Amino acid sequence: MVVSVNNNKACKTVSNHKSNMKKEHQALQLHDFLPYKINMLSKKISHSLSLIYTTEFGITIPEFRILVWLSSHPNIYAKDLCRFTLMDKTQVSRVIHSLEKRSLLQRQADTNDQRSYQLFLTAKGETLIQEIIPKAIEWEEHLLTSLSPRQYMNLQNALEKLEAQLQALESRS
């Protein structure tokens, strides 16, 4: 099955093919199911990238995500980290505790709400993330060598459209 982002006829062909498959039987071919393919690719990419910072710096995937968010959004709240990283409250709390224990981040009580804490990287945390980021960017560039600039742009456009459609579907629920 060939799909071209800019070719409406090919897109209709894929759509018709999937519709015909539905009529024939209700079996789901997981390897052709887009949510499954995206999820599997995401896990593979995340794992491959994590080998860089896990091996060299002892940072886990959730810790990496929190460190990156804090490096570009200082004084953020844990609840915001949950929203931005799609991690649950318990996981974010554990990661914050782990990073705080290793002196990579600090909490500061909110002056308006003593139950809330603003989070920011320590100098040690900033230094660490500034060592990791160039390696992560280099890894991403190497991954993307398999795509032409046009293919990369088409991929970005397709992902944005899927995200917008997903938001529209969720708003109906």
Q: Round the average pLDDT of the chain to a whole number and report it.
A: 89
Give yes or no for residue 168 having a pLDDT over 60.
yes
Question: For residue 39, is pLDDT > 90?
Answer: yes
Alpha carbon distance 119, 50 (integer Å): 23
Partners of 90 in the beta sheet?
A: none
91-127 pLDDT, tens digit per residue, is 999 999 999 999 999 999 888 887 889 999 999 999 9
Q: What would the mean pLDDT of 21-50 be, rounded to a whole number?
A: 88
The whole model's pTM is what? Answer: 0.78
3-state secondary structure of 117: strand
The predicted structure's pLDDT at residue 8: 54
Say what the pLDDT of residue 1 is: 40
Q: What pLDDT, in 10s, does the model give residues 139-159?
A: 999 999 999 999 999 999 999
pLDDT digits (tens, 9 = 90+) for 71-85: 999 999 999 999 999
| Domains annotated on the chain, with CATH | 34-172 (1.10.10.10)
